[in-house]
Amino acid sequence: MSTSKINLVMLKKLFIFTVIMFAFGYALVPFYEKFCEVTGINNLLQPDILVEENWVDTDRWITVELDANTTGIPWDFKPLQSSVRIHPGEPVDVLYEIRNHTDREVNGQAIPSYSPRLLERYLKKFECFCFTKQVLKPNEVRQMPVQFTIEPGIPADVHTVTISYTFFELPGGQKAINDK
Amino acid sequence: MAAVHGDVHGHGHGDHHPTGIMRWVMTTNHKDIGTMYLWFALSMFFVGGTLAMGIRAELYQPGIQILEPELFNQFTTLHGLIMVFGAVMPAFVGFANWQVPMMIGAPDMAFARMNNWSFWLLPVAASFLIISFFVPGGAAAGGWTFYPPLSVQGGLGVDLMIFAVHILGASSIMGAINIITTILNMRAPGMTLMKMPMFVWTWLITAYLLVLVMPVLAGTVTMLLTDRHFGTSFFNAAGGGDPVLFQHIFWFFGHPEVYIMILPAFGIVSEIIPTFARKRLFGYSSMVYATASIALLSCFVWAHHMFTVGMPVVGQLFFMYMTMLIAVPTGVKVFNWTATMWQGSMTFETPMLFSIGFIFLFVIGGFSGVICAIVPIDIQVQETYYVIAHFHYVLVSGSLFALFAGAYYWIPKWTGRMYNETLGKWHFWLSMFFFNLTFFVQHFLGLAGMPRRIPDYALQFADFNMVSSIGAFGFGLTQILFVYIMVSCVRSGEPAPEKPWEGATTLEWTHLPTPAPYHSFETPPVIK
Ligand code: HEM
Ligand SMILES: [Cu+2]
């Protein structure tokens, strides 16, 4: 083979390799999704299992502040109680309310956020409206529970924690007439 | 033309190419293309440098004086992008174009036409970046690493940046394919892989890194583009995406990228030190293996840029140890350079001065890198000026100093003229002084907690910032001297002797006249 032929073969191989690496970049997306699912990293949206006969630390009180936000979704969203006081280990129920104040159907998804950050490790949620998307009919109002506990292992200097949710609009609901 | 064709080599060829501007637009000659890459890189170095002067002028005093915060952010973002993609990377490709064929005894690059395309993509991308300052909303302002959500939210400037990165990526990939093919298929008979000059070795490995990670960067910016305009949600939490995913994919490209910018610098320095120490490179094969292991390891350390995203401790430890491991092959290299100088008959011409300056200051940058790799420390210094100091020690006094060294070293071969040695030495010592004045104090600022990418700062940081800004202005002005030295060398330098560096042993010095003829090695030399 002449040099230029050999070169062309090489060019082809390297080009195919480039295309494979481009695809590899995309393959990282499902890879990381699976990786996080298997290792349990970032599983904010999966329910935890309720363990019976949990130890409750009745000597401690923790104030849980409840917060609600919306971004780009025409809903009102608020907790029905702004905070609760609980013992670590004790399961509690709180209620949030969403109200669609438009006359179209809207899909929404809530994303949780915790403060302080170490709360993520000790907070166990058994039920939450954030595990699935919410669909509200025109002007519908809905009350939704969150059932959770904070494990007694949480460091003793933590007295107040915040659980915050932000609702985002998902595509798929009825679009407003002048939405783009 | 046909009549000329049968003519004697070397004489007839000079008349083949068009003259004037069209010579440069159409050229497929590796030397012409190398020259264009180098001038382009130098111009971009001054564009990026002007932005840096703006940044340092704003930071000269606390408070907002010159740049509104929005514009300041655009300056830092474009400074980084232009220096990385417009200055340092093309400059090294320019060196590869000039030197690789001459050092392996090949007549030209493997794909001469593609070589021309790779170059001409660059001005297009650069103009996108520069134009983006003047579109509504201004240029991208979320940092050169363009993390979402800012990069998903920005305006037209971000789109222009995305296109520019696409084009620059295509150009680098084409360049890399060209370099790999040239090195693997076109070496002169007898030039085995383990006889190749170190510069060629480092570029071979760099080119492999480029084809490995540039496509991933292209994928990342494509995801960003579709998130912005086509309703996907790779990085958008509202749609089920995750901004942390961006950081993982970006730094899969990003860390190897920093080695793409330093390995050819290692190569240049590995050519210059033996020449001026008049000894063979100490530990040639360990140099090759060290380069290869650095490249390999660099693909498994990306998350050291993300220690604070909330990854599990096992993850932090893994990436911490992997990162520290890189210091081992890097240490081998530093050892070998030092051992090459040991008991050599050294002289200190400008290329050697820049190379020794490189070793000193790069080692400082390497150490601060290892310090950043220690998780509990990095949690303190991440996003502070400490990191800025670290990467300017490896990139400015590392990559850039090596580029200067290479330019002084090879300009006699390229032009047949000598640069002014006295001025060259001035350039070195002024650069050395002002560089350290600018960046050494940034270590202190970072340790004291001054955040990066912010136009204003608390009063206790004022003194060091003023020192740093004065250093930066001095460094900027000094680089005008470099342009003066280069231009006056090209136009009216003393004619260079055939072999200005007696210790040089690579083919371009031993087998070619000075200046190197337009076409070289059309019949390959035989290497014993
Ligand atoms: C022994 C070698 C090195 C080690 C251990 C090292 C380690 C690190 C670490 C841990 C960081 C992250 C710091 C943070 O964001 O908090 C970092 C940042 C950085 N390093 Fe290095 N590094 C090394 C060599 C290099 C080289 C050779 C280059 C380039 C030529 C380089 C360029 C950079 C850049 C540009 C950043 C900052 C990226 C950004 O956030 O904008 N490093 N390095
Ligand atoms: Cu890195």
Q: Please give the C-alpha separations between residue A97 and each of A134, A141, B156, B168, in angstroms, as whole numbers.
A: 12, 7, 38, 50
* Helical H segments across B342-416, by residue range: 350-373, 375-381, 385-394, 401-415
Give domain status of residue B228, yes or no: yes
Cβ pair B180:A10 closer than 8 A: yes
Give domain status of residue B523, yes or no: no
Give domain status of residue B12, yes or no: no
CATH number, residue B167: 1.20.210.10
Contact B298, B209 (CB under 8 A): yes
Q: Which domain holds residue B168?
A: 23-510
Residues of B with CB below 8 A from A6's CB? 185
Give domain status of residue B110, yes or no: yes
Distance of CA B397 to the CA centre of its chain: 11
Other Cβ atoms closer than 10 A to B280 = 12
Average pLDDT for runs of 10 along chain B of length 528: 37 57 89 96 97 97 94 96 97 97 95 95 97 94 94 93 97 97 94 96 97 97 95 82 93 96 97 96 96 96 94 93 96 97 95 97 96 96 96 97 98 96 97 97 96 95 97 97 96 93 93 92 86
Cβ pair A117:B231 closer than 8 A: no
Q: For position B11, what pLDDT does the model report? A: 40
Q: For position B236, what pLDDT does the model report? A: 83
The pLDDT tens digits of the residues spanning A33-82 come to: 888 888 877 666 667 776 666 778 888 999 999 999 988 888 999 999 99
- Ligand number nearest CA of B372 is 1
Q: Where is pLDDT greater, at B466 or A102?
A: B466
Distance of CA B128 to the CA centre of its chain: 20
pLDDT score of A180 more than 50 = no
Cβ pair A18:B215 closer than 8 A: yes
Residues of B with CB below 8 A from A43's CB? none
Continuous segment of H or E residues that includes residue B125? helix B112-131
Domain count, chain B: 1
Q: Answer positive or negative: Cα dihedral of B319, B324, B325, B327.
A: positive
The pLDDT tens digits of the residues spanning B159-178 come to: 999 999 999 999 999 999 99
Residue-wise over B346-368: b if at least 16 C-beta within 10 A, else e?
A: beebbbbbbbbbbbebbbbbbeb
- Of B391, B447, B452, B453, which is best to mutate to test ligand 1, by the most ligand atoms within 8 angstroms of its C-beta? B391
The pLDDT tens digits of the residues spanning B112-141 come to: 999 999 999 999 999 999 999 999 999 999
Give domain status of residue B300, yes or no: yes
How far is residue B459's CA from residue B139's CA, in Å, rounded to a whole number? 29
Give domain status of residue B3, yes or no: no
Contact B164, B129 (CB under 8 A): yes
Q: What are phi and psi of B86, to 5 degrees?
A: -100, -30
Q: Answer positive or negative: Cα dihedral of B264, B475, B448, A117.
A: negative
How far is residue B187's CA from residue B164's CA, in Å, rounded to a whole number? 34
How far is residue B269's CA from residue B272's CA, in Å, rounded to a whole number? 5
Give domain status of residue B179, yes or no: yes
Alpha carbon nearest to ligand 1 atom 28, residue: B258
Biggest CA-to-CA distance, chain B: 76
pTM of the model: 0.88
How far is residue B257's CA from residue B84's CA, in Å, rounded to a whole number? 9
Continuous segment of H or E residues that includes residue B21? helix B21-26
| Mean pLDDT of all residues in A108-123 | 86
Cβ pair B110:A7 closer than 8 A: yes
Q: Which residues of A touch B (CB under 8 A)?
A: 3, 6-7, 10-11, 14-15, 17-26, 28-29, 32, 39, 41-42, 71-72, 109, 111, 117, 120, 168-171
Give domain status of residue B528, yes or no: no
Residues with CB under 5 A from ligand 2 (ion): B 255
* Pocket lining for ligand 1, CB < 6 angstroms: B 145, 258, 261-262, 304-305, 323, 326-327, 330, 366, 369-370, 372-373, 378, 381-382, 387, 390-391, 394-395, 398-399
**In the numeric block, which tokens belong to residue B243?**
């901004």
